[in-house]
Structure 1
Amino acid sequence: MSEQSANPQTTTQNPEETNAAATEQSPLTALREQIDALDIQIHNMINDRAKLAQDVAIYKKQTVSDADAKSHKNPIFYRPEREAQVLKAVMERNTGPIADDKMARLFREIMSVCLDLEAPQRIAFLGPIGTFTHAATLKHFGKAADTMPLATITDVFREVEAGTAAYGVVPVENSSEGVVNHTLDGFLSSTLKIIGEVELPIHQNFLVAEHTKVDSLSRIYSHQQSLAQCRHWLDVNFPNIERVAVSSNGEAARRLKNEWHSAAIAGDVAAVEYDLHKLYENIEDNPSNTTRFLIIGHEAVAPSGQDKTSIVVSAHDKAGALIEILKPLSEHGVSMTSIETRPERPNKWAYVFFIDMDGHIDDANVTAAIEAIRPMVKDVRILGSYPKAVL
């Protein structure tokens, strides 16, 4: 018996098999090498962009006016209209195979990192961590932003007014549940402006922790609005389990850390932040449910090309006041997108109207319409002109 045949694990590979394996791997190897080469180019270009962002920051600091310098006023680094224009351009020139919105999200994160290099921006939002407002904050400012969760909408207004936070994010309207009155009321006692908006599709998930005993569930936590938005699904799937309303979906997710018999209803951000498992996804009764959030800050925003203007009007107490207010909008070709009514405190039976319209205050027809309204009412205040939500 030969030495080769005596050792069954010693084999001689057929040269033809070796060549076939090499031929089979070579196209994949070539593709990977192309990807590696492109990765190097992308890496270098992102750093080149970041260096230009730093140059922009240096220029802004060097050209700050003497008056602003004396008042210790910092230059403006975050420009909502510029970012909206860049993201819209990304989607317009995109040719795939990556979807337009996903490509824009990639650029959103690059811009977020570059802005952080220019000047870190602290963003206050209605917390705690894991809420849909947190998700809206990350969607609008990117994950490089320095976020600051706060307990109430009033706290968000206060911290931005004080300068502790550069900007704030607050919910204003849900397509199923309606307007958020606390946010509208915040503008009645604040001089802050609306500088942007975010629209966030609301997808609810049924979350459990690693230690949860699913067969023994006895309690489901969530915010009262989320429980309402998932009522039918819960009635079908968990009709006999107690539903407990808490202050936020983030708080609902947090409670699972110390409870083995509970579940929570919350969004994707809460699942990530609290390391929870999505037992069921997208359980909301209305799949088109969307919440609109406002970005609040101090400065006015230049036109982006696709803008909204928000005003608050204090009307005289007389018949036909609202019809009289709306007439100039129609006469000047301004499209109203929404109107909400709130009590004008402390006056009894007096009301103010929050009106959103298409266009920027710098547009001639928008300015003309607002100026035509002024003589008819007690007061008109422009809350802001800002880019329409892009993503």
Structure 2
Amino acid sequence: MTFLDPLLELRKNINNIDKKIILLLSKRQLLTKKVVKVKINYKKKIKDKEREKKMLKTLVKIGKKNNLNKNFIIHLFQVIIKESIRVQKYLLDKDYLNKKNISKKISFLGPKGSYSYIASSLFLKKEIKNVEYFPFSSFEKLVLSVEENKSDYCILPIRNTCSGPILQNYKLLLTTNLNVVGEIEIPINHYLLTIKKILIQDIDTVYSHEEVFKQCSTFISQFPEWKIKFTNSTSEAMKIVSTNNNKNCAAIGNKIGAGLYNLYKLKKNLSNKILNTTRFFILSRNNILPINKTNYKTTILFSIDEKNNIINNIISSLKKANFYIKKIKLLNYSSSDIKSIFHMDITNNFSHKKQLAILYKLVKLTRFLKILGSYPYKI
């Protein structure tokens, strides 16, 4: 027997114990995957600080009874907990991206057939297999439905190429705690719709959403004798005309809505611009960041006191930190306490602490700064 023989035997025993530790960690991870499914169903937070404290306290006591160092036990299980959180976040993100047979609820400006409905169905068609649609009569109500856990998502139009930013929805973005988790831009083709074929000159009343009249102002100006009636949505306007016995009233809506409400398409392409599009944000309670490290952007709203030097300093600071500014727009927004608001899109994902720290240095240069969310986008 050589001197090394007992050492080899001891190492062999240690290796066997290490294998058992690996197998136990694997079993623990399987339980973690089951835990995250329960958390998704019951909308529970991933991190539970109180449970972690109690668990570490218990484990330290057990370790002490078995002659193990307190700091070693704490460090070991902090690493295990960190890995458990990483796995749970990955599975949660994967659930968001794949949507395996999980039914999700989305709120939109209704009734069915509105541009918001069309945008939400196009966005979620690829993302989610089972979708329940819930119409609301105002943007405030659909945002509230998600805040109160009645819906998983809501869709907000934020900008149209003809009428510009939709300021009432920017106000909602400033006040809500919801996060932007996606976006979609759709073409807008406004139709003049009636219950049957008539002459345009015979129309006396036109119904539609206020924003639509802005987008079709050039066409509307040709008929100053028309009575303009605002509705909560284009689909509500189409519904009113379809149930109204007055053949001289019309709605401005879309082709899909015309089919749903059995309306005659009297004239199309009413927008001030031929290429008219609207950008929509998808909002959620969860702040879900994309797994992939490409093709994402972050949207930020911020306010400043002076336009020129400060905004140049902000742009310069971001460029020095290797942030690519995709878009920056000044909104014509004003209130008693806010004079100017900028909308800025940056093609960076602020999931990394270093990037987030750089961004928050800009807070000193602004009156306020709010990150709306980081989300995937198409180039």
TM-score range, shorter chain: 0.5 to 0.7
1:255 has 2:240 as partner:
yes
Report the equivalent of 1:221: 207
CA distances 1:20-74 after superposition (whole Å, capped 9, x unpaired): xxxxxxxxxxxxxxxxxxxxxxxxxxxxxxxxxxxxxxx9982417877897569
Report the equivalent of 1:161: 147
RMSD value over aligned CA atoms? 3.7
Report the equivalent of 2:34: 62
Q: Residue 326 of structure 1 aligns to a residue in which SS?
A: helix
Report the equivalent of 1:382: 371
Report the equivalent of 1:311: 300
Report the equivalent of 2:322: 333
Shift of 1:366: 5.0
1:285 has 2:272 as partner:
yes
Report the equivalent of 2:258: 271
1:321 has 2:310 as partner:
yes
1:362 has 2:345 as partner:
no
- The 8 Å contact of residues 198 and 389 in structure 1, kept in 2 or not, is answered as no
Q: Which amino acid aligns with 1:246?
A: F
Q: Residue 136 of structure 1 aligns to a residue in which SS?
A: helix
- The 8 Å contact of residues 77 and 118 in structure 1, kept in 2 or not, is answered as no
Shift of 1:273: 2.5
Structure 2 alignment gaps of length 5 or more: 1-30, 47-87
Shift of the 316–264 alpha-carbon distance from structure 1 to 2, 3 Å rule, reads: closer
Report the equivalent of 2:97: 82
Shift of 1:220: 2.8
Map 1:106-125 onto structure 2 (within 5 A): 115=99, 118-125=101-108
Aligned residues: 297
Aligned partner of 1:130 among 113, 121, 126: 113
Report the equivalent of 1:18: none
Aligned partner of 1:145 among 131, 140, 146: 131
- The 8 Å contact of residues 333 and 365 in structure 1, kept in 2 or not, is answered as no
Shift of the 190–342 alpha-carbon distance from structure 1 to 2, 3 Å rule, reads: farther
Q: In percent, how many aligned pairs have the same letter? A: 23
CA distances 1:116-146 after superposition (whole Å, capped 9, x unpaired): x722111011233332112111111139521
- The 8 Å contact of residues 194 and 266 in structure 2, kept in 1 or not, is answered as yes
- The 8 Å contact of residues 299 and 344 in structure 2, kept in 1 or not, is answered as yes
Structure 1-normalised TM-score? 0.64
- The 8 Å contact of residues 124 and 149 in structure 1, kept in 2 or not, is answered as yes
Shift of 1:214: 4.7
Shift of the 243–61 alpha-carbon distance from structure 1 to 2, 3 Å rule, reads: farther
CA distances 1:134-159 after superposition (whole Å, capped 9, x unpaired): 21111111395211111222212211
Map 1:338-357 onto structure 2 (within 5 A): 338-341=328-331, 347=337, 351-357=340-346
Shift of 1:194: 0.6
1:244 has 2:244 as partner:
no
Shift of 1:201: 0.9
**Alpha-carbon separation, structure 2, partners of 1:66 and 1:120:** 15
Q: Which amino acid aligns with 2:239?
A: R
Report the equivalent of 1:299: 286
Structure 2-normalised TM-score? 0.66
Shift of the 69–185 alpha-carbon distance from structure 1 to 2, 3 Å rule, reads: same
Q: Which amino acid aligns with 1:339?
A: K
**Alpha-carbon separation, structure 2, partners of 1:208 and 1:60:** 58
CA distances 1:333-366 after superposition (whole Å, capped 9, x unpaired): 323212334768663x655543222222136885
Shift of the 350–252 alpha-carbon distance from structure 1 to 2, 3 Å rule, reads: closer
Shift of the 73–118 alpha-carbon distance from structure 1 to 2, 3 Å rule, reads: farther
Q: Residue 117 of structure 2 aligns to a residue in which SS?
A: helix
Structure 1 alignment gaps of length 5 or more: 1-58, 84-114
- The 8 Å contact of residues 209 and 277 in structure 1, kept in 2 or not, is answered as yes
Q: Residue 309 of structure 1 aligns to a residue in which SS?
A: strand
CA distances 1:149-197 after superposition (whole Å, capped 9, x unpaired): 1122221221111100101101111111111112211122221111011
Shift of 1:244: 1.6
**Alpha-carbon separation, structure 2, partners of 1:224 and 1:343:** 18
- The 8 Å contact of residues 205 and 250 in structure 2, kept in 1 or not, is answered as yes
